[in-house]
Amino acid sequence: MSRNYWLMKSEPDVFSFEDLVQAPNRTTLWDGVRNYQARNFMRDGMSVGDGVVFYHSNAKPPGIAGFAEVASEPYPDPTQFDTEHKYFDPKSDPEKPRWILVDIRAVEAARALVPLQDLKEEPALDDMALCQKGSRLSVQPVSEAEWRVVRAMAGVGVAKKA
């Protein structure tokens, strides 16, 4: 089975890539996703070891901050059952959880943040979901070709210079 690639958005004021690096085991559960399309990608598409592009939205500038990997199989988002939690969903049945998530582990920071503007100016990324107008989805699939281009732009995953 081949590895898949994803892009996941986070507002750095809420949870940044640096926060993920600082987290225990550099890992966190990706809670709070309340969009069915995004959930379906996590529930149906993700496997342990998949590559994750960590994107900072609502930032100045917005862009790619680092790279992570899927660190668990999909499982129910515990916050949906916590009445005290802002992500509580009274319509979710514990017998049949509505919201599913995965754990994410930080792997490597971008050498420098790759601004959204640079991504949009890169012809090889014309078809990338993130670059499409009105793209709001917080979890998106990324092709292997896009993954390589983005990592090169971020200065990671390439052979070290002498």
- Binding interface with DNA (CB under 7 A): 9, 11, 35-37, 57-59, 62, 116-117, 120, 132-138
The DSSP result for 79-135, as a single string, is GGG-TTSTT--TT-BTTB-S-EE-EEEEEEEEEEEEEHHHHHH-GGGTT-GGGSTT-
**Six-digit token pair at 157?**
């995953």
**Residue 142 in 3-state DSSP?**
strand
End-to-end CA distance of the chain: 35
Cα separation, 104 vs 67, in Å, equals 10
Quickly tell me which residue has 């790619």 as its tokens: 64
Question: How many whole angstroms separate alpha carbon 8 and alpha carbon 101?
Answer: 12
Q: How far is the CB of 32 from DNA (least distance, A)?
A: 8
